[in-house]
Amino acid sequence: MTYMMLLRGSISDNPLISRNYKGDVSMSEIDYFMPLLMQKEEESALTPLLSRGKVHFLWIKHSNIYLVALTMKNANASLVYSFLYKVVEVFSEYFKELEEESIRDNFVIVYELLDELMDFGFPQTTDSKILQEYITQQGNKLDTGKSRVPPTVTNAVSWRSEGIKYKKNEVFIDVIESVNLLVNANGSVLLSEIVGSIKLKVFLSGMPELRLGLNDRVLFEITGRGKNKSVELEDVKFHQCVRLSRFDNDRTISFIPPDGDFELMSYRLNTQVKPLIWIESVIEKFSHSRVEIMVKAKGQFKKQSVANGVEIYVPVPSDADSPKFKTSIGSAKYQPEKNVVVWSIKSFPGGKEYLMRAHFGLPSVENEELEGRPPISVRFEIPYFTVSGIQVRYMKIIEKSGYQALPWVRYITQSGDYQLRTH
């Protein structure tokens, strides 16, 4: 990447911020981006990468701001987009909201950050925790009290500072899985996948090395343990602290962690998942003057588990009025602005079955609905449970001072894009 700029979402506007990293892209090229984008949009040919001659514009949009990188070379596009999203993340950490006003109010700090984020066209320090050690913010002013660069920037472990001390050394591990599900009106599962992440909250002194063991199927096969109670992870992505070469060699997840909260890894399982909460609904219309909807919800997970904060969103006709509800558990509320009934159940044990009946009036004039019914969507969270069966087998904490540390593990399964179509 040779040039980067931030623009407002208007064709006549000049860049809010621009930064030339190598000087081989002419300043005049900036003026062509917005007209080119608007032209492609009108032609319904808009793409994430736009070209004019030898200049390539790689862009993303956040709120009403375009972040654009320019290059004249065959650059690594995935690297450029990762960097642009990282810029959004860093700016949001500093300003809470990345928008035109926050850019205008913090010109100095934005330039300082761009200087540290990239140098000579290559990404440099992109960890907001490290950047905040020497680029600090007081109101809208930049505090340059620390003149020396902190050792984390030049250290081999740039994501962790030296000299961290805690009275009590602990690691909290959250294994969170989101279930994406789409079921058709006949009850067949059309889409089923699990998207998981392992998040850590680290309170450890010194420069510890951590080793995490999972019931990874590839590891079990390497060590001759068979496939029982193992999980085959796909699309695994790690935090930069993980030693990838070691994971490739023997599947060991070894790392020196950042301090505080961070996502260690994410993964995906494209597998057939039995719907955890099954929904059936029956709709009856009476002489086009009223409609009754009956919804049955059943927990299809282990009886010893409980789903918390369950919300079932049932679509209703847009011209419905005079709602009346009857539920065997929880409460139902009509949201006319969204044309849905929200059935809320605070605690839903596995194996249980509940009913909700809704009665609505309809206009006396018949108005046949040509559009199809939207699907019923469900939100929930099940603690102490993972649908994939992934397990943390061990967490070893090694530090030269030899202190004892406690790892704590928590499992959570929650709804992702969870929808069930009905007749």
pLDDT of 223 = 67
- pLDDT score recorded for residue 143: 42
Residues comprising the chain, all counted: 423
- Per-residue pLDDT band at 146 (split at 50, 70, 90): very low
Identical topology for domains 3-132 and 277-365+373-383: no
Distance CA 396, CA 229 (A): 21
What average pLDDT does the segment 198-222 reach? 89
pLDDT tens by residue, 37-63: 888 888 888 899 998 888 888 999 888
Residue 167 has pLDDT above 60, yes or no: yes
Q: Per CATH, is 277-365+373-383 categorized as 2.60.40.1170?
A: yes
What is the reported pTM?
A: 0.72
Cβ neighbours of residue 231 closer than 8 Å, sequence gap 6 or more: 214, 215, 216, 217, 269, 388, 389, 390
pLDDT surpasses 80 at 2? no
pLDDT band (50, 70, 90) for residue 20: low
| DSSP type of residue 317 | -
Closest CA to 60 of 117, 129, 5: 5
| Whether the predicted pLDDT of 304 surpasses 90 | yes
Which CATH number describes the domain made up of 3-132? 3.30.450.60
HEC string of 72-107? CCCCCHHHHHHHHHHHHHHHHHHHCCCCHHHHHHCH
CB 165 within 8 A of CB 207: no
Element housing 174 (H / E): strand 170-183
Note whether 300 and 277 are within 8 A (CB): yes
Domain ranges of the chain: 3-132, 170-273+387-420, 277-365+373-383
Q: What is the mean pLDDT of the chain?
A: 84
pLDDT, position 317 = 86
Predicted local distance difference test score (pLDDT) of residue 99:
85
Instruction: Give the lowest-confidence range in 275-284, 298-307, 327-336, 367-376.
Output: 367-376
Residue 382 scores a pLDDT above 50: yes
pLDDT band with cut points at 50, 70 and 90 for residue 305 = very high
**Of 207 and 223, more confident:** 207
Band the pLDDT of 380: cuts 50, 70, 90. Answer: very high
pLDDT at 100: 84
The mean per-residue pLDDT over the stretch 357-374 comes to: 70
Pick the more confident residue, 178 or 227.
178
| Angle of the 77-95 helix axis to the 107-117 helix axis, nearest 10 | 140
CA distance 255 to 127: 17
- Best-predicted range by mean pLDDT (110-119, 211-220, 221-230, 381-390): 381-390
Whether the per-residue pLDDT at 365 is higher than 70: the answer is: no
Question: What percentage of the chain has pLDDT greater than the value 70?
Answer: 83
Report yes or no: 335 and 304 within 8 Å, Cβ to Cβ.
no
What percent of the chain has pLDDT above 90?
Answer: 46
On whether the CB atoms of residues 194 and 268 are closer than 8 A, the answer is yes
**Mean pLDDT to the nearest integer, 178-183:** 96
Q: What are phi and psi of 125, to 5 degrees?
A: -85, 115
- 170-273+387-420, which class in CATH? mainly beta
